[in-house]
Amino acid sequence: MARKHAILDGFASRFSGVASSSGGRIALREVPFSAQLDFRANPADGRVVDSVHKALGFVLPTDPNTAATAGGRSALWLGPDEWLIVGGEGEESLLTRVLHTALGETFGSVVDVSANRTVIEVSGSAARDVLAHGCPVDLHPRDFGTGRCAQTLLAKAQVIIHQVNDAPTFHLFVRTSFAWYLAEWLLDAMTEYCAEEPIGVSVPLGGQESPSPLRG
Amino acid sequence: MLLIPCPWCGQRDEIEFRYGGAAHVEYPADPETVDDATWARYLFVRPNPKGPLAERWCHSQGCRRWFNIVRDTVTHQIMRSYRMEEAP
Amino acid sequence: MTRLASGGRIDRSRPLRFTFDALPHTGFAGDTLASALLANGVRVVSQSVTYGRLRGIFSAGVEEPNALVQVGGGTGSEPMLRATQVELYDGLVAESLNARGRLSPEPDVARYDKLFAHCDVLVVGGGSTGLAAALAAGKAGARVILADEQAEVGGTFLGGRDLIDGRPATDWLAEVATDLAALPEVRVLSRATAVGYYDQNCVLIAQRRTAHLGPAAPAAMARQRLWQVRAKQVVLATGAHERPMVFAENDRPGIMLAGAVRTYVNRYGVVPGHRAVIFTNNDSAYACAIDLDDAGLDVPAVVDVRPNPAGGWPDRVRERGIEVLAGQVVSDTAGGNRGLESVWAGQRIDCDLLCVSGGFNPAVHLFIQSQGRLRYDEILACFVPDEAPQAVAVAGAANGTFGLRDCIQEGLAAGAAAASAVGFGDGHPAGAPQVETVAEHPIVPFWLVPDESGATQFVDLERDVTVADVRRAVGAGMQSVEHVKRYTTIGTGSDQGKTAGINSAAIVGALLGQPVAAIGTTTFRPPYVPVSFALFAGRTRGQLFDPARVTPIHPWHVAHGAVFENVGQWKRPWYFPHDGETMEQAVLRECRAVREGVAAMDVSTLGKIDIQGTDALRFLNRIYTNAYDTLAVGHCRYGLMCKADGMVFDDGVVMHVGPDRYLATTTSGGAAAVLDWMEEWLQTEWPDFRVRLTSVSDQWATVAVAGPRSREVLRALAPAMAADAVSFPFMAIREGMVAGIPARVCRISFSGELAFEINVASWYGLRLWEAVMAAGEPFGITPYGTEAMHVLRAEKGYAIIGQDTDGTVTPQDLGMSWVVSKKKDFIGRRSHRRADTARPDRMHLVGLLPVEPEDLLPEGAQLILEPRQEPPVAIVGHVTSSYRSAALGRTFALALVKGGRDRMASQVYAPLPDRLHPATVTEPIFYDKEGLVRDG
C-alpha cells in the first residue's frame, strides 16, 4: 500500500516551533489520517442509537454543538440527523461496517470522509485567544467547554471546532484544500503570542486586554 | 452584521449563512399546467414589505439546514425563527 | 510658562521631548500633544481649510475641529490625528495640517488585527457613569467589556474637581479600578473607541495599542485592533459634547470650550491663557471661572446670556469678586497673529482666553446607529435618547443626566439592570457614594448672537462654514438639515460636526422660524471617529486576503514550475512552461501532447457531492435537465442543471457508484452553491424524499490522463484493470488498484480524446500523480494546465459554465437540447417555454473563425453585423472564449450571437480599437466532429 501524505507535512517544523516561541502558551500540530465518517440517521430510532452505543460506547449526541467520546472515538453533532464519527487512523472500514450495521434497512447514510478534512490541534492557555482572532463563535468556558463542538468559520475557512480537553485543546477539522490557508492564518494569528521580544504594555486600569509579558 | 438564530445551532453570525429570499413562495403543484403569467409570478415576484418579512436562510457554514425567520426589514429585529416543517 | 507648578495627572518627573512644526518642545508623561502645546505657549496650531484663518486648540477630546496634526515621519506617518487625542511620547514629531492630511506613499507595514469578543454587558465609555455600570454588572457576575477611548478611564471627571464621599473623585476612581481588576470576567479596554453600532448589538471597537509608545512599540504587537463585540446588553455611557455659541469672529486661537479649559487646568496642569472671560448660557462654565481663578488667572467677567443667573454657582463666582454680566453676550472679538486679544460684551474686555459654553449635546451617535430615536428636551435644551429597538440602555450625560451624583447612580442602575436582564443579579445596584451637589440655575437655550455688521460667524470650524453659508442654503430653498449639511458641508469634516451639527440645526430653525426640535438632527452613521482602512483590513491582506485552496498535488506543481491561475479560490496550474517558452508555446505543446500522445492534469478541484437514498434517482431527475433512469451502476453521465428560470446554473458528471448511490461532480467554483441549492430543494420542497447529500469535494484527488496513449499509461499503472475499449467503454467506471492505491477510474473526456480520470483518497493524491508521471514517462507524458484544457474543450465546443454562460443562457441557447429531457419535469423546465426563452433570436453559442487565421479575438469583444453603421451601432453578441489551436493550426473562438444558429457561414465583425476584425460564424465544434478519436 502506498504511503499517505499529510497535507500539512510542509508545516511541521513551523508548527513545532510554536510551543517554545510562545513560552508554552500554545502548541500546534497536525493530526492527520483520522478516520471520519459522515453518518446520517434518525436519532429517534432507538435501535440505531443502541447499536452505535453497543459498538462504539457512546450515545449519539442529540444536543446541537455537542460531542460524545468513548475509547478514543467521538461523535460530533453536525445536524439534527447528522454526525461526524471520528476514529483512529485506518478505522474507516471498521466504522463504516459498524454504522451500516446500525442503520440496517432504515433510512440514512454513511460516507467515508476521512480524507476530506485534516485535523489541526491547537492547545494551550492562549489557544482560545488565538482562535478568537478569526472565529465568530464564543469559545468562553461559560459557553463552550470540553465536549462541545461547532461548525463555523475560522477566518475564511469553514471548520468544525471540537474542544477535547480543558487545557484547552481544540481540534480544528478543516477541508484539505483550505488546510494551507488555515495553517498560515493560525501561524500569523499567533504572532503576538510568539513574539521574540516580550510584549508588556502597562494599561492603567484593568489591562487584561493586553498580553502580559510572554516569557518570565 | 445580523445575529441569526439557527433553530438548531442557536445564535450565529450572519457570515455563516446563505440568504434564500422570501419564504413561503409556493412552487406550483404542476408547473406544466400554469400559464406564463402565473409562472412568471412564481419566478420573479417577491414581497418587499417595510416591516416583518418571512425569509429563508441556510446555515451553510454550520448544520446546512434551511429554515425560516421573520425579520423586520426596517429595524432588522428578528422576531421568529422556525424550522421548515413548522407552520409559518 | 503656562504650566502650573503642581496638580494634574501628569508625571513631572518624566519630561518628554517633541517637535511641532519643526520647533522643539518639552512636555510630560501623561500629556496629550494638545496639552503639551498649550503648556509650551503654542496658541496657533493650524490654518483653516478655506479662509486660511489662524486656529487654536478648541477642545480637549474627540470633538476637536482645529488641531489636526500629522504625526510621525516615513511609513509610520499618520495623517489627520487630533492633537487632543495624541498621547505624547519622547521623540514625537508632529506637524500642523490645514484640514488636509497627507497619506504616506509607502505601504503601512504595521500589524493591524481583529478579535471577536462576546459579553453579557458591553459598557461604552469609562467615565463616572460607565465605570459605575461596569462595576454593577461585573459584581452581579456578568461578563463585561468596558471600552473607553482614553488612555486612562475616568472621562470628564478627570478634568473636574468633584468630591466623592468627601474625597477627591480620583480616589473613588482608583477604588473602582481595583474592584474591576479583581473581577475576572470584566475586561477593560483602554484607548478603545466604539466606532460602529450594528444589528443585534454588534459593536465595533477600534483600539489604538502601540501608537502612544512611539518608536518603542513592539513590532510584533498589532498597532491597532478591531474588536467585533457581540453583547447581549449594551450600556452607552458615552457622555456629552459641549457646544459653543456662535458669534462674530468666534474662531480665534484662545477661544475654547469651557469644559475643555477645565480639563487642561485640572487634568494636565496647564492654563491656556493669562486673562480669561467666560461666555455661557448655563451654570457649568462657572466652575471653569473658579478653576481659573484658583489657578491664578485674571478672570475679569462671566458673560451670561441669562437675565438673572442666581443660586449656587453664580453666587460662588460673585463671592470671588468676578463680575457676572447678566443678560449679556459676546458679540465680537479682536485679536492678532497670536489669537484673541479682547472681546466685546457691551464693553471691551481685554483677554487672551474666552471660555464658551452653550450647553451640552449628549453623545448619541452610537445610540442613533443602533436605530434609537431622539427627542428634544426643552428643559435641558438638547436632544436626548428616546426609544430604541435593540437591547441598549443609555446612562449618564449621554442620557441628558449631567450631575456627577446622578451619573453614578444612573450608571449603577443601568449596569445592574443590564446584568439582571441576562440572568445576573436582581437588578438592584449597590448604594451610590455621596457626592456634593449644587442646585443649578436652568440653562437658557442660546445658539447664535445676532449680528448686523456682516462679520464672520463660524458654525463649523473644521469645514470653515459660516452662518452666511447656512443663510444662503436656506435662501436657496433648503429646509431639511440633511440638505443644508450637503449644501454647506457642515458636519462633513473628519470631526463629523460634533461641535457644529446641533448649532446648525438651531440656526436653520431660527432662519425658518421653527424650533430646533422640529428641525432635528442629521443621521449619525458609523464610524464615530475616523478609522484607518488598514484596521478594517486587519490581517486580511496579502496571502491571507482570501483562502488559496490547493490540491494535494500542489507541491509537485510548484516544484515543476507551474504558472498558476486563480479559479475561484483555487490555485490551479495554468500551464507548465519549459525553459525559454512563452505561454503560447507551452499551451500549444500541452495541447499537442493531449491530441497526439498522452498528458496529465490535476482535476482534484472539481466539486463532489455524494448522493444516496432510495429516492436518489428521483432527486437527480428533478435537479438535472436530463434523465438518469437508464444510467446503470458503474457508469456515469454528463449532467446540466438550471435554475427555476431555466438558465444554466452548473454542470458536471453524475457517477452511479452503487445501488441508490451516486457521486455528482460540480464545477470547481460551484461546489458550495450547488450543494446549498440541492439541499434547498430537498429540505424545502421535497422533504419526503429519502435522499442524503454529503460534500466530498476534498475527499478525492483526481488525475485526468488524456490522449491516444493514455490507455498504455493506465495499463502500466493498473495491470489488473482491463482497459480496452470494450471492457472499459466510454462513460464507464471501474474500481481497483492503481499504482497500489485503491482508486475509482472513470472514462470521461473533456478534450474529445481517449481519457481516464483516476480518483483516490486525497492523502494519496500526490503519490498517484507521481506514479502517473513515472508510468507515463516512456510515452512522453506531459503535465497540462487549465489553459490547454480550455483550448481542447473549446475545440470540441464544450461550454464552460460561467465563461461561455452568464446566468442568462438556456441549454437550448448552448445548442444542448440533447441534454434536456422532454419526458420528465425538472427545475427550470417550465421556463423553457416562456415567450422570452422560446423566441428564436436569443443569443446562441456559435463558433467563430477569424477571417485572418492568426487573428486572436479578445474574449469579451463585442460583435456587430454590418461593418459600416451609423451610431448607435447594433451589438449582436460577444466573444466568450478565444484561443490559438494547435490542432487547427489557427485561431478560433466561441461566441454568443443573437440568432447565431441562423447565421452560419455569415460574417460578423469585432470592432476593436485598431480596426474591424471580421470572423465567420460556424458550428461550435472544430475538432473531430464525428467523435472518432474518443476510443483512442
CA A36, A61, C680, C802 torsion-angle sign: negative
Among all residues of chain A, which has the CA nearest to that of C174? Answer: A205
Nearest to A64 among B9, B13, B15 (CB): B9
**Chains linked to A by 3 or more Cβ pairs within 8 Å:** B, C
Instruction: State pTM to two decimals.
Output: 0.95
Domain C837-934: CATH superfamily, name plus number:
Aminomethyltransferase beta-barrel domains (2.40.30.110)
The pLDDT value recorded for residue C413 is 97
Partners of residue B60 in chain C, C-beta under 8 Å: 672, 676
**Parallel, antiparallel or unpaired: strands C875-885 and C862-864:** antiparallel
- Ramachandran angles phi, psi of C831, nearest 5°: -70, -25
Q: How far apart are alpha carbons C880 and C863 in whole angstroms?
A: 11
Asked if the C-beta of C829 comes within 8 angstroms of chain B's C-beta atoms, the answer is yes
Q: How far apart are alpha carbons C51 and C64 in whole angstroms?
A: 18
Partners of residue A184 in chain C, C-beta under 8 Å: 543-544
The pLDDT value recorded for residue C216 is 86
Mutation test of the interface with chain B: which of A148, A151, A161, A172, choosing the one with the most B Cβ atoms within 10 A?
A: A151
Say if B10 falls within a structural domain.
Answer: no
pLDDT tens for each residue of C176-222: 999 999 999 999 999 999 999 999 999 999 999 999 998 888 888 99
A-B CB pairs within 8 A amount to 35
In the predicted structure, residue B50 carries a pLDDT above the cut 50: yes
Nearest to C687 among B18, B36, B84 (CB): B84
Partners of residue A152 in chain B, C-beta under 8 Å: 12, 16, 61-62
Q: Which domain does B61 fall in, by range?
A: 19-25+49-88
Q: How far apart are alpha carbons C454 and C640 in whole angstroms?
A: 76
The pLDDT value recorded for residue A174 is 98
**Chains linked to C by 3 or more Cβ pairs within 8 Å:** A, B
Partners of residue C199 in chain B, C-beta under 8 Å: 1-3, 76
Nearest to C679 among B40, B58, B76 (CB): B58
Say if B35 falls within a structural domain.
Answer: no
Query: Contact B32/C830, CB-based, under 8 Å?
Result: yes
- Ramachandran angles phi, psi of B10, nearest 5°: 90, -165
Nearest to A151 among B13, B15, B63 (CB): B63
Say if B73 falls within a structural domain.
Answer: yes
Say if B11 falls within a structural domain.
Answer: no
Q: How far apart are alpha carbons C436 and C431 in whole angstroms?
A: 15
CATH of the domain spanning C11-106+244-357: 3.50.50.60
The strand pairing partners of C692, in sequence order, are C612
Residues contacting C340, CB < 8 A, separation 6+: C252, C253, C254, C255, C273, C333, C334, C351, C352, C353, C354
The pLDDT value recorded for residue C452 is 86
E-strand ranges in C413-527 read 458-460, 465-466
B-C CB pairs within 8 A amount to 62
Could you give the number of structural domains in chain B? 1
DSSP class of residue C210 equals: S
Among all residues of chain A, which has the CA nearest to that of B17? Answer: A152
The pLDDT value recorded for residue C370 is 96
Asked if the A9-32+116-201 domain carries CATH number 3.30.1360.120, the reply is yes
Q: Which C positions 842-881 lie with beta carbon below 8 A of chain B?
A: none
In the predicted structure, residue A206 carries a pLDDT above the cut 70: no
Q: Where are the domains of chain A?
A: 9-32+116-201, 35-112
What CATH architecture applies to the domain C607-695? 2-Layer Sandwich (3.30)
DSSP 3-state assignment of C45? Answer: coil
Say if C11-106+244-357 and C112-240+363-421 have the same CATH topology: yes
Partners of residue C644 in chain B, C-beta under 8 Å: 42-43
The pLDDT value recorded for residue C73 is 64
What is the end-to-end Cα distance of chain C in Å, rounded? 96
CA distance B43 to chain C (A): 6
In the predicted structure, residue A197 carries a pLDDT above the cut 70: no
* Positions of chain C with pLDDT lower than 50, given as ranges: none
Asked if the C-beta of B22 comes within 8 angstroms of chain A's C-beta atoms, the answer is no
Residues contacting C548, CB < 8 A, separation 6+: A180, A181, C569, C570, C571
* Domain C558-605+699-792 CATH class label: alpha beta
* ipTM given for this complex: 0.97
Q: Which A positions 155-194 lie with beta carbon below 8 A of chain C?
A: 155-157, 175-178, 180-182, 184-185, 188-189, 191-192, 194
Say if B6 falls within a structural domain.
Answer: no
Partners of residue A80 in chain B, C-beta under 8 Å: 8, 63, 65
Partners of residue C209 in chain A, C-beta under 8 Å: 201, 210
Q: Where are the domains of chain C?
A: 11-106+244-357, 112-240+363-421, 447-519, 558-605+699-792, 607-695, 837-934
Using 50, 70 and 90 to split pLDDT, how confident is the model at A211? very low
Q: What is the CATH number of the domain that holds B63?
A: 3.30.2270.10
Among all residues of chain A, which has the CA nearest to that of B14? Answer: A136
In the predicted structure, residue A54 carries a pLDDT above the cut 90: yes
Partners of residue A150 in chain B, C-beta under 8 Å: 9, 62
Asked if the C-beta of B15 comes within 8 angstroms of chain A's C-beta atoms, the answer is yes
Partners of residue A78 in chain B, C-beta under 8 Å: 63-64
Q: How far apart are alpha carbons B54 and B77 in whole angstroms?
A: 12
Q: How far apart are alpha carbons A118 and A157 in whole angstroms?
A: 13
Residues contacting C871, CB < 8 A, separation 6+: none
What is the end-to-end Cα distance of chain A in Å, rounded? 49
Query: Contact A80/B9, CB-based, under 8 Å?
Result: no
Say if B39 falls within a structural domain.
Answer: no
Query: Contact B63/A158, CB-based, under 8 Å?
Result: no
Domain A35-112: CATH superfamily, name plus number:
Heterotetrameric sarcosine oxidase (3.30.70.1520)
Partners of residue A65 in chain B, C-beta under 8 Å: 9-10
Other C-beta atoms within 10 Å of C660: how many? Answer: 16
Residues of chain A with a CB closer than 8 angstroms to some CB in chain B = 64-65, 78-80, 82, 136-137, 150-153, 158
Topology of the domain covering C112-240+363-421: FAD/NAD(P)-binding domain (3.50.50)
Nearest to B63 among A79, A136, A137 (CB): A79
Say if B61 falls within a structural domain.
Answer: yes
Q: Are C470 and C511 in contact (CB under 8 A)?
A: yes
Using 50, 70 and 90 to split pLDDT, how confident is the model at A196? low
CATH of C447-519, one of 3.20.20.80, 3.20.20.140, 3.40.50.1110, 1.10.10.1100: 1.10.10.1100
Query: Contact B1/C687, CB-based, under 8 Å?
Result: no
Q: Which A positions 16-45 lie with beta carbon below 8 A of chain C?
A: 32-33, 38, 40
In which region does residue B53 sit, left (phi positive, over 0), alpha (psi from -120 to 50) or beta (all else)? beta
The pLDDT value recorded for residue C2 is 85
Query: Contact A205/C152, CB-based, under 8 Å?
Result: yes
Partners of residue C676 in chain B, C-beta under 8 Å: 18, 58, 60, 64
The pLDDT value recorded for residue C310 is 87
Partners of residue B84 in chain C, C-beta under 8 Å: 683-684, 687
